Amino acid sequence: MLTASKKTVMKVAKQNGCEILGEWLKSMVNHLYWCALSTKDSDEEMVLEKWLSLTNHLHNKHRRHGKKLKKKMLTWTTKKQKMAQTQ
């Protein structure tokens, strides 16, 4: 699946006006791996929300992710803040 996806993106990136996709290819592949490997219990909804968050990042928007992902991000932020306070 990943190889086919990479080939598809590279094919589109060769089209006029879509060259920037080639620059994003490595990040897209890394993001796909992160989506799959960082999600516990094969939570398909969470994987999808994480994957779709890529479109926000492509448009330099870092808000308005899916509900599950937003809740998880708040949890991560809270944990980081608590760790920073204890150091």
The 10s digit of each residue's pLDDT in 11-21 is: 998 999 988 88
Threshold 0.75, pTM exceeds? no
Classify residue 53 by burial, with Cβ atoms within 10 Å: 0-12, 13-18, 19+: buried
In terms of residue numbers, what domain contains 51? 2-86
Determine the residue type at 20: I
pLDDT interval class at 79 (50, 70, 90): low
pLDDT higher than threshold 80 for residue 10:
yes
Q: What SS3 class is residue 75?
A: helix
More confident residue, 13 or 79: 13
Q: What is the largest CA-CA distance in the chain?
A: 52
Q: Which residue has the tokens 């920073």?
A: 84
Q: Which two tokens stand for residue 63?
A: 């808000």
Domain total for the chain?
1
